[in-house]
Each structure stands twice: as structure tokens, then as C-alpha cells.
Structure 1
Amino acid sequence: MQKLNIFLLGGTRDSINIIKYLKENFNTYILTTTTTEYGSSLAIEAGSDDTIAKPLPKKDILEILEKSNFDLIIDATHPFASHITGTAIECSKIMKIPYIRFERPISDDGSINHDKLHKVNSFVDAGKLISKNFNQFNVLHLAGTNTIEDVVKSVPKENFYARILKIDISIKKCEDLEIPKENISFMNGVSSAEENIELIKKTNAKVVISKESGKTGGLPEKIEACKKLNVDFILITRPVVSTLNENDIVRSLEELNNKLRTYF
């Protein structure tokens, strides 16, 4: 098979698995984009030939694609990074380069069943729901630093707790939002149900917030912890990208393999 030059939009655990899989099974050059130096270092460690560690607007992506002879765009960004997915689709059409979206499966409803589950469409809505129904309780945020601001508009900061990655950009974000240092916990990868239970107890949280991040993002373990402690769980559902074609989506490495062999 010919050598494939791949432009990979990464920054997720999925993208790391894809890099490793491609390097083991295909002859590839991979340029991975991430929004942080931390994500870039993980991509290099996984085998990516090169990385770009900063957010890329449309004009920058087009410039990169124009200067290099890429055969394929693989979008393995987070399910909630809908803006970059839309941008990647647009760039692929402009440059006439095949596009594949790696979409982590949505958790089976059976695994996220909980009597105290509340589904909302945005973090702003989550904040409003908390303000209306849980304003006297402690809140535990398990959905990343970029989503905190929308919630704390409606939630007292002294009642707000968050688990974040121990990286400078995340710590600074919390500092800028004036989240008390004692209300911040650090994470290393996906937490087990037992670890989630321990943190919920430690923070005395009565409501937990998370994205619909699937099994890869540790959603079942979060739900399990809340069920065992009878804690309310607010789930932000995934955004819909109207320009995303179902035929361009793969949901496993096996499906990715089949798609690649179809294209090349």
C-alpha cells in the first residue's frame, strides 16, 4: 500500500489509539493537531510524526493542507468540539481531501440509567437547572475546564467543585474564574467508579455534571458512582453537526481500517 499522509485532528484518547493503530498497520506520515502541549506530547509518544499544539482556525488549516500533500483528514476531536468538526468538513470539501470522522459510540441507555438523571442541551442549561433545583447544594463538575464558565454563571463558586487535568492551562482557567483552590481536584486519565465515589463524598456533592462522553470518557463509572450514592446527575447531550454525513463516520478501529482500505 502507498504511504498515506494523514492530517489528524486529535487531542483525545481516541486519537492516541488511532495513531498507534495506524503506525502498526499502515505506512503513514501523521501530522496531529492538538490544542495543548500536553496533548501534543501524548501524540508524539504514541508515534505521530509531527504535531501542532495550538487551536487552528479555518484559514490555518487550509494553509497547512495547501502546503502539504495530504491524502486524508481524520477528525478524532472530542464529541463536543462541534465547531472544529464543522470546520474540518468544510476544509475537506474545499481541498477535495477525503474526510473521516471517528465518533466514539454514545453509551447504551442501559449503562447510564439512573432515576436521578437529568438531560440538558448545554452547560448554560445545566447551570440554570442547578440554580433552580439545587442552589443550596455542592456541585461536582466532571466535564473539563472549558465548560466551567457557563455553569458558574448560575452557581455560587463556594459550592462549585471541579476535577481537572493538572496542566497549566486548566489551572489558570480555574484561577481566572476565581474557583477556590481547595475546590479543585486533579485527575489522571479516566477515574473508576470507586474513585468517583470517593470524590463525591469528599466534596459532599449532591449533584454531578458530565458530558455525554461515552465509555471512553468514563461516563458509565460516573453514573455508577451517582447511583450508589443516590446523587443527582446532569448529563449534557452531544451537539449535532448538521454537515456531518453518516457515511463519513466510523466508530471503531475496525471500521476505520475498512474505510481506509476502501479509499486506498
Structure 2
Amino acid sequence: MQLNSESHKRIWLIGGTGESAKLAKALLSVQLPLLISVTTENARSLYPISPLLQVWVGRFNLSQINQFLAEQNIIAVLDASHPYAAEISQNAIAACSQKNIPYLRFERPRCGLGGRGAEGQRGKLIYLDSFERLVTGEYLVGERVLFTVGYKVLPLFRDWHERSTLFARVLPATTSIAAALTAGFTQDKLFAMRPPIPLNLERELWRHWQISMVVTKASGTPGGEDIKRQLAAELGVSLVIIEPPIITYPQVTSDLGEAIAFCQQHTGKLA
């Protein structure tokens, strides 16, 4: 999407998540001008139509972010990207530091008592700090494993089809399904649906496939982590939780009011 480089100064909301949609509505309600970036055309539908809001679709490297900040007259950055989208956050932080532009990370609240570290286990909850640790360990041996982690990491588990029975739930998109098939997941071991997944449907899927282990990300309630925890305890299923990358953010909040105040402060529209 080509944007007007002569546009008024505005906030860059790094979006694509449910949190970013809530933030956008809240910021528009106090008449703040926004430029929202997402990585797919489908994500446009998350946001309302408003003359104060423009949506940019695409991906950035660091040099592109520097150019983007200047051309689009960005005066502050509110980062509500996915917790595992480390590259965009790290590049945005670096660019904002170079240009002295205020940056605030909006974090979704964590679900339960996560265990940051190389490895932690509480009953049937297993915390790991990376997918690589899961691939190289023995956690999956002989298990009927359901992956609910997106399609990008599925190729890491291609060799595990010989030692385990693997299933995957992916988005109902051609790219996601094709990637899963290429990674060795057959059609009868794939389920395509866009979250949120209702608890009853999640339960029936696990039962139908006789799942003994589920691999998920530490995605909080918006990512359905609470439902997976509940069902894992109910059905006696092991739940492997992959924690997000560690990023040192200049400022972080999980409070909507603080995020609005940050944006108002830097647009000169204090409540």
C-alpha cells in the first residue's frame, strides 16, 4: 500500500494481533492518528475503517524501518506485535533508538505461572525455551502430539514422524496447509481453523485424535493458552509450552490506559 509521505504526524502501531485491534479502537476513540502495520492482507479485517487510520501491509528490515519512520512522520511507536515476532520488535527498538523516537511495548498478560529458563516441568506442564530444545530432546518419543504453534516451525519436526504420531492445527490458508504437508503432516493429521477455538471443539479434537501431548506457545489467554491448560489437566495430556524469545524492551506495559496515555503524550493530546 502506498501511503502519503506528506501526511500528518502519527503513531505507528505494530499490529496483527488481537491486542493491537483493541488498542486501535481505543486510540481512535480519543482521536489519535494511527498507521498500523500488518504482515498479511487478511489482517486488515482486524481494524475499523476510519479517516484517522491507515493500514500498511508488508514486512520490514532495519533499513526499511528507518526509511518508514521518516517518510510516514512517525512520532512514537506502540509495538503490539506477536510475542514471537522478535525480529520486528528488535528492529523497531534499534531504529527508534537511532532516531530518538519514543517506543512502548504492549505485552499480552501471561497465563498462569510461566517458568522462564532452559527447562522446567510442573506435573504435565513442560516449559522449554526454544523449539530446538524440543526437537533435540526425547520429549516426543512415542507420543501422539498435536502442534498448535503455526506452520513455520513444523519443518523442524520432519524427522520425528518416524518416532511419534504427529498432528497439527494450522490456519485455513493455502500457505499454512502447503507448509504442513511439505513438513510430512498428512491430510488426515491436519486441522485447519482460525482461532479462537471453542473449548468443546478443542476437547473433541484432542479426544478424536487420542492426543497425549500438545505443543503450544506461551501465548496467554488471547492465544488460547488458558483453554489448553484446562484441557491438559482434565484429559491427562502433557502440555509443552515454548516460551517467547527474551527481548529487552525500553518500556513495557500490559495496561491499556498506560498505552493510551503514552500515545496522547507524544501527540500532544493529553487527557
Q: Are 1:15 and 2:23 an aligned pair?
A: no
Q: Are 1:78 and 2:86 an aligned pair?
A: no
Whole-angstrom CA distance in 2 between matches of 1:252 and 1:128: 38
Q: Are 1:118 and 2:126 an aligned pair?
A: yes
Secondary structure at 2:141's aligned position in 1? coil
Aligned residue number for residue 150 of structure 2: 144
Whole-angstrom CA distance in 2 between matches of 1:49 and 1:12: 16
The one-letter code matched in structure 2 to 1:8 is: L
Q: Are 1:203 and 2:209 an aligned pair?
A: yes
1:173 to 179, 183, 190: 179
Deviations 1:214-264 (A, max 9, x none): 11111010111111110111011121113x12xx11202122123234443
Aligned residue number for residue 73 of structure 2: 69
Secondary structure at 2:204's aligned position in 1? helix
Cα offset, 1:44, TM superposition: 5.6
Quickly say closer, same or farther: Cα 1:107–1:133, change in 2 above 3 A: closer
Deviations 1:109-143 (A, max 9, x none): 29xx96211111111212333xx243222110111
Aligned residue number for residue 43 of structure 2: 39
Which stretch shows the higher mean deviation, 220-229 or 54-63?
A: 54-63
Quickly say closer, same or farther: Cα 1:257–1:57, change in 2 above 3 A: same
Aligned residue number for residue 186 of structure 1: 192
Cα offset, 1:195, TM superposition: 2.2
Cα offset, 1:52, TM superposition: 2.5
Q: TM-score, normalised by structure 2?
A: 0.85
Whole-angstrom CA distance in 2 between matches of 1:4 and 1:161: 47
The one-letter code matched in structure 2 to 1:237 is: E
The one-letter code matched in structure 2 to 1:127 is: V
User: Pairwise mapping of residues 152-167 of structure 1 onto structure 2 (< 5 A)?
Assistant: 152-156=158-162, 159-167=165-173
Say whether the 8 Å CA contact 2:142–2:164 is kept in structure 1. Answer: no
Task: Could you tell me which runs of 5 or more consecutive residues in structure 1 were left unpaired when the two chains were aligned.
Answer: none
Deviations 1:66-117 (A, max 9, x none): 212112111111111122111110011122211111111112329xx96211
- Of all paired residues, the percent bearing the same amino acid is 24
Say whether the 8 Å CA contact 1:106–1:212 is kept in structure 2. Answer: yes
Secondary structure at 1:178's aligned position in 2? coil
Q: TM-score, normalised by structure 1?
A: 0.87
The one-letter code matched in structure 1 to 2:126 is: H
Quickly say closer, same or farther: Cα 1:151–1:124, change in 2 above 3 A: farther
The one-letter code matched in structure 2 to 1:159 is: T
Task: Could you tell me which runs of 5 or more consecutive residues in structure 2 were left unpaired when the two chains were aligned.
Answer: 1-7, 115-120
Which stretch shows the higher mean deviation, 180-189 or 170-179?
A: 170-179
Q: Are 1:127 and 2:135 an aligned pair?
A: yes
Say whether the 8 Å CA contact 1:16–1:46 is kept in structure 2. Answer: no
Whole-angstrom CA distance in 1 between matches of 2:71 and 2:9: 16
2:240 to 214, 234, 237: 234
When the two structures are aligned, how many residues end up with a matched partner? 254
Aligned residue number for residue 107 of structure 1: 111
Quickly say closer, same or farther: Cα 1:42–1:218, change in 2 above 3 A: same
